[in-house]
Amino acid sequence: MRRTLRRTVAAVAMALCAAVLPAPLPANAAPPPAPAQAAAQWIDRDTVVWKGARHAPAQLEFGAEGQKGEIRLAPAALGPAERAAYPHLKDFPAFAVDPRDLKLAATALRERLVAVQRDAEGRRVSTGVQIPGVLDDLYGPAAAKVPLGPVFRRGRPTLAVWAPTARTVALELDGRTVPMRRDDASGVWQVRGARGWAGKPYRYVVTVWAPSVGRFVTNKVTDPYATALTADSQRSVIVDLADPRLAPKGWAKLKKPAAVPLNRARIQELHIRDFSVADRTSRHPGQYLAFTDRRSDGMRHLKALADAGTSYVHLLPAFDIATIPERRADQARPDCDLAALPADSERQQECVGKVAGRDAYNWGYDPFHYTVPEGSYASDPDSPRARTVEFRRMVQGLNEAGLRTVMDVVYNHTAASGQGALSVLDRIVPGYYHRLLDDGSVATSTCCANTAPEHLMMGRLVVDSIVTWAKQYKVDGFRFDLMGHHPKANILAVRKALDALTVAKDGVDGKAIVLYGEGWNFGEVANDARFVQATQRNMAGTGIATFNDRSRDAVRGGGPFDADPRVQGFASGLYTAPNPSPANGTPADQRARLLHYQDLIKVGLTGNLAGYTFTDTSGRTVKGSEVDYNGAPAGYAAAPGDALAYADAHDNETLYDALAYKLPQPTSPADRARMQVVALGVAALSQGPALSQAGSDLLRSKSLDRNSFESGDWFNALHWDCRDGNGFGRGLPPAADNKDKWPYARPLLADPALRPGCAEITAASAAYRDLLRIHAAEPVFGLDSAAAVQEALSFPLSGTAETPGVVTMRLGKLVVVFNATPHRQVQRVPALMGQRYGLHRVQARGADPVVKTASYEKRTGTFAVPGRTVAVFAERWFRGAVVSRRGGGVLEALRGAVREALGGAVHGPPCP
């Protein structure tokens, strides 16, 4: 994720604003001005670290003038455990809390807190104090055991909120204020309610010192553990998610599609509103309930993908979103006749941009409440019940179509921090839930206010929220946005908590739930600066996958941030169909880069295994980890399920739009469609999980928009009916992220030849589904260990004589040829001379007439494949069958013969 929340939220903030009132202070006790920075960090009850301090005595001062207390600090050194826990602080001056003052910590943490020292000239030096470490030390062990949020026992709710630094906390309910009781061991405030509280809106009234404004405030704030909300998140609502009245018909006995292990998962990434808002056949456009419209064009297409082998639908964030007005009457709409404007006009993006902050659209990477469904997708945003029931009905609808559900989750940041109206966590425990830099400012490397899952209670919130979605909404998988900003330990804690869920106890099989995420390495946490991150390299061997950008870039060409978007790659014509961009270099440069891309693709086809050994295009024997990717190892996976293959996702241009930039402009729509399938095919036929953006098989375009997070329905909507086009030519993409690319975009958008028709759209989709069917029919595409991949998979023509633009892979009894060149290519494999091969039955009987012209000559072991085609060959007597890596035999031959006779897969593992 590389988006910036530039949206103006003033209108939404007005609707959401909760009171922020100065709390009364004792008479004649006004606090002095707060320091502008917080360079001191109280990391546990015994230790303070202060960047820039002298190695001399200091103190922590707390309270107001006239009632001020003091905690004495003596120069000290960090111990081994502290240095390991806080590696980024190891070189800063450390201080030990005077043992006589330890008892003052609990009081000091509920007051204004300042670190004070005298400089060499005797002048007073002060700074604010960061407190997450000491809060975890003092309260974490007890707080970890206390249920939070609304918890029902025998029909009566208990409400609990962790607020250890608050002076007072009360419950605002039914226009009255109900006192809450503080547990001094945990810092949790609780109140037990009556049965009649169920269904009632509530807020917490929290009086606390807020460093961001330098005073005590009284915040009226929603519950971080809320499970229901009123419209626009103005109040939390007390609900019991186990209440049968919130369960749609059949929910308790919901029959899910068979669990697909992550290393065989084929995933469609989908935005809920995109899915149906432009679908004229949907009865619930833009809503959760659109997934219950079995006869809509969208659901028919998802069902076709499921039948072909797609196993999961990955939903972009569907928790409560901060920047969408939930009531339809409050949602602004463009007031232009967008369809009447020229295909390369600036007017569409200008008109859409005027309402971007107030319309119904956002990707949703701006979380407000983590564990409540977004209200704008419900039929009635004013009904807390509708959100819960309809989200569950959406899961039912997808499951009934043969698809499991993955939820995109964004725990790495919040939409706001401090005293902002869209801030929740920071108005209850200021300075705790977000990651602070050395000066006390909130880190924003994710483009928003970064959270700190390394802190005990933020990490717990992640785990608790995930478990709620799994148990109460029967979500089958989770994709972590910017997972590299989480500690590895936090993600493994999620895995452990899910693994503990059982059908008998919890209604779900937690071990069948899949996890994957963005393992990017950047920002203040980069290179394990603060903790061991959940990055690509570090997650290897955990069974939790990370996105594989290596193969993605090789297939598309260049990278996401190229100044010239015409940089080509394997599936976009590098060297074999060059465009005029000087960024591609000389023909010799192009050839060399293309061959290196082919090595990256080979590593990707193995599941991006670090230890996989093969011959690269220079003739060297190398491991996957020895292939270079921008100065880093290409291969990082320990097992085939560690890396997720993809050619496009919601970030950056769609695959069709990337190819629009990169392929030579005269390339015909039919050839563009074929190159789309080649690119998708590399991911679809890789070991390990693979993902594609919804609509990519239909040549989906966003009119060249590289960051459509708030570009509205006009640029984002999916078009299931090919007569509506694919979205290309809907105007120049929004200026904020694309204006520097407009000179490249204008001539393309104005060219009607780049707009595919029904023939190209339906052909690409059908050819892609054939590849999915092959993957589903062949267990050898889902090998479960690096050793099995090394034994079964090879690249017999890799080396100095390799054909530029062609990758030939041998996989068990299959041979796959990826021909990205415009011309028919011949691939002779001497080791297969005399063996009988033919085009795989799925393609031989499939939708693509071009691939049917592929051929094999037994005498010479030669495969001939038409241009811009992925062809899969199988041994004739075993077509559709795969010999086990432990050996074949008569039983496997019979299995293959039965498969061939039935024209489909025989399910189950290969015979031993």
Helices (H), 644-801: 655-662, 669-684, 712-716, 735-738, 742-749, 758-777, 786-792
Q: What does the pLDDT average to over 458-479? A: 98
> Given the structure tokens 């267990």, which residue do they identify?
779
Q: What is the pLDDT of residue 34?
A: 57
Give me the mean pLDDT over the 695-716 stretch. Answer: 98
Q: What is the mean pLDDT of residues 724-748?
A: 98
What are the tokens at 766?
A: 């059908």
Q: Is the pLDDT of residue 14 over 60?
A: no
Q: How many other C-beta atoms can be found within 10 angstroms of the C-beta atom of residue 189?
A: 24
How many Å apart are CA 897 and CA 813, to the nearest integer? 14
3-state secondary structure labels for all residues of 195-228: HHHCCCEEEEEEEEEECCCCEEEEEEECCCCCCC
Q: What is the mean pLDDT of the chain?
A: 93
CA gap 100, 72 in Å, rounded: 9
Residue 538's Cβ-side half-sphere holds a number of Cα atoms within 13 Å equal to 23
Whole-angstrom distance, CA of residue 37 vs CA of residue 440: 6
- How high is the pLDDT of residue 876? 83
- The model's pLDDT over 356-383, given as tens digits with 9 standing for 90+, comes to 999 999 999 999 999 999 999 999 999 9
- Report the C-alpha gap between 725 and 761 in whole angstroms: 9
Which of the residues 481, 671, 713, 848 is marked catalytic? Answer: 481
Contact 588, 578 (CB under 8 A): no
Whole-number pLDDT of residue 885: 29
Is the per-residue pLDDT at 3 higher than 60?
Answer: no
**pLDDT in the model for residue 64:** 82
Q: What is the mean pLDDT of residues 394-406?
A: 98
Reported as half-sphere exposure (CB side, CA atoms, 13 A), residue 345 has a value of 15
Which residues are CB-neighbours of 872 under 8 A, at least 6 positions away?
Answer: 685, 771, 774, 814, 815, 816, 839, 840, 842, 843
| Angle at 470 (CA atoms; ends 467, 474), nearest 5 degrees | 160
Which residue type is seen at 262? L
Measured CA distances, 688 to 266, 537, 629, 889 (Å): 9, 16, 20, 27
CA 638 to chain centre: 21
- Nearest 5°: the CA angle 846, 852, 855 is 140
| pLDDT tens per residue across span 71-100 | 999 999 999 999 999 999 999 999 999 999
pLDDT at 521 over 50: yes
pLDDT of residue 48 exceeding 80: yes
Confidence of residue 65 (pLDDT cuts 50, 70, 90): confident
Lowest-pLDDT range of 36-40, 148-152, 215-219, 613-617: 36-40
**Average pLDDT score over residue span 167-196:** 97
Q: Once rounded to an integer, what is the mean pLDDT over residues 118-123?
A: 93
Integer Cα distance of 653 and 562 in angstroms: 12
What's the confidence (pLDDT) of residue 538?
98
pLDDT band at residue 904 under the 50/70/90 scheme: very low
DSSP secondary structure letter of residue 502: -
The answer to whether the CB of 285 falls within 8 A of the CB of 279 is: yes
What value does the mean pLDDT take over residues 191-200? Answer: 97
Helix (H, G, I), strand (E, B) or coil at 69: strand
Residues 451 and 413 sit within 8 Å (Cβ to Cβ): yes
> What would the pLDDT profile of 809-846 be if each residue is shown by its tens digit?
999 999 999 999 999 999 999 999 999 999 999 999 99
Q: Which of 562, 553, 473 is nearest to 513 (CA)?
A: 473
CA distance 181 to 166: 12
Question: 136, 518, 599, 713: which one is catalytic?
Answer: 518
Confidence (pLDDT) at 36: 67
**Residue 67, pLDDT score:** 82
Phi then psi for residue 873, to 5 deg, are -110, 150
Residues 791-800: tens digit of each pLDDT? 999 999 999 9
Active site residue 481: yes
Contact 519, 546 (CB under 8 A): yes
Query: Known catalytic residue: 240?
Result: no
Q: What is the pLDDT of residue 32?
A: 52
Q: How far apart (Å, rounded) are the C-alpha atoms in residues 91 and 107?
A: 29
CA distances from 438 to 53, 63, 129, 130 (A): 13, 24, 10, 9
> How many residues are present in the chain?
912
Q: In this model, does residue 701 exceed pLDDT 60?
A: yes
Taken in order 672, 676, 681, 686, the sign of the CA dihedral is positive
Name the phi and psi angles at 682, rounded to 5.
Answer: -60, -45
- Phi and psi torsions of 325, nearest 5°: -60, 125
| Helix residue spans in 369-487 (DSSP H) | 384-400, 456-473
Q: Which pLDDT does position 877 carry in this prediction? A: 61
User: Percent of the chain at pLDDT above 90?
Assistant: 91
Tokens linked to 572? 């976009």
Is the pLDDT assigned to residue 15 strictly greater than 70? Answer: no
Cα radius of gyration (the chain): 29
Residue 577 pLDDT greater than 60, yes or no: yes
pLDDT of residue 640: 96
Instruction: Supply 96's token pair.
Output: 């030990």
Q: Does the pLDDT value for residue 101 go beyond 80?
A: yes
